[in-house]
Amino acid sequence: MFSSIKYASDLIYRGISYVGALAALLGETVCSLFVPPLNSNRILTQMLRVGPGSFFIASIVAFFIGMIMALQMAYQMVELSAEIYIPNVVSVSLTRELAPVLTSLIVAGRVGAGITAELGSMVVTEQVEALRAFAVNPVRYLVVPRFLALVIMLPILTIFADLIGIMGGFVICVYKLFINPSLYFTMVSKAVDLSDITTGLIKTICFGAIIALVGCHQGLNVKAGAEGVGKATTMSVVISFILIIIADCLFTTLFYFVLRV
C-alpha cells in the first residue's frame, strides 16, 4: 500500500517536473522568436519536412476516416431513415475533432520522433556542445525552426485533412447511400460553422507546439548513446500522444462549456 502511494506520488512529481521543463523550453523558445534575425532558410527546411512530408499519410488517414465515419453513421441512421444527416455528422466531427487530433498524432509519430532522433544523435556526437562552443544557442538554432514549422504547418495539414475527410464521407454517401452529390455539399455547408473549423485549427497550433517541445526536449536530454536515442524517441511519441489527448480534452471542455463555441 505504502509503496503504491510512493510510486503514484513519484509519478505525479515526475509529471509535474516534466511539464515544468517543457514550459521552461517554451519560454526560452518564445523569447528567442523576438530576437532578430531569424534564419528563414532553416525554418523553411523544417516546414518542408513537416508539411509536404506528412501530407500523403495524413491525407490517406483522413480520407479513410471520413469513409469509416459515414459507414458507421449509416449503420444507425438508415434504421431511422435519417441518412440525409450523415454529411452533417461526418463534417462536424471531422473539423472539430477527428482531423485535428488524428493529423496531430500522425505528425507526432512521424515528425516528433524524427526530431528526437536527430537532436539525440547530435547530442551523442557532441554537435550540440559544438554549437554552444561556437557561441550559438542550441534552442535558437535547433528548437525555434522546428517549433515554428510545426505550429504553422500542422493547421495547414489539418485544413487539407478536413477537406479530404469530407471527400471520404462523400464517396460513401454518394456511391453507397445514393445521396445526391450537390445535396451532400449543401448539408455539409449548412452543418459546418466557421467556429467548427477555427476551434479545430486553434487546437492544432497547441498540438504542434506540444510535438515540437516534447521532441526537442527529449532529443536535447538524451543521456547514453544509441540506446538512449532509441529510448528517447519512443518516449517522445508516447508523451506527445498523451499530452495531445489531455490538451484535446481541455480544449473541448473550454470550447464547449466555457466559450460555448
Partner 1 sequence: MIFINNLSKKIDNNIVLNNLNLRVKPGETKVIIGRSGVGKSVLLKHIVGIIKPDAGTIEINGENITLMTEKEINKVRMQIGLVFQGGALFDSMSVEENVAFVLNEFMSLDRKVVRQKVADSLAMVGLKDIEKMMPSQLSGGMKKRVSLARVLCMEPQIILYDEPTTGVDPITADAINNLIVELHDKLKVTSIVVTHDMSSAYKVADSIAMLYHGRVIAEGTPSEIKMTNHPVVKQFITGDAHGPITENENLVFGHVR
Residues that bind partner 1 (CB under 8 A): 121-122, 125-127, 129-130, 132-137
Q: What's the closest the beta carbon of residue 251 comes to partner 1, in angstroms?
A: 35
Identify which of residues 9 and 39 has a Cβ nearer to partner 1 in the complex: 39
Distance CA 103, CA 238 (A): 16
**Residue written as grid cell 469513409:** 67
Quote the least distance from Cβ 141 to partner 1, whole Å.
Answer: 8
Nearest CA among 260, 53, 72 for reference residue 172: 72
Judged on CB neighbours under 10 Å (0-12, 13-18, 19+), 35 is: exposed
Q: How many CB atoms lie within 10 A of CB 248?
A: 18
**Residue with smaller CB distance to partner 1, 84 or 139:** 139
Enter the C-alpha cell of residue 222.
Answer: 538524451
As measured in angstroms, the least distance from the Cβ of 127 to partner 1 is 5
Q: Which three cell numbers stand for residue 235?
A: 518516449
Nearer to partner 1, 42 or 231 (CB): 42
In angstroms, give the least distance from the CB of 40 to partner 1: 14
In the complex, least distance from residue 37 CB atom to partner 1, rounded to whole angstroms: 10
Q: How many residues does the chain have?
A: 261
**Of 116, 90, 112, which is closest to residue 174 (Cα–Cα)?**
90
The amino acid present at 38, given as its one-letter code, is L
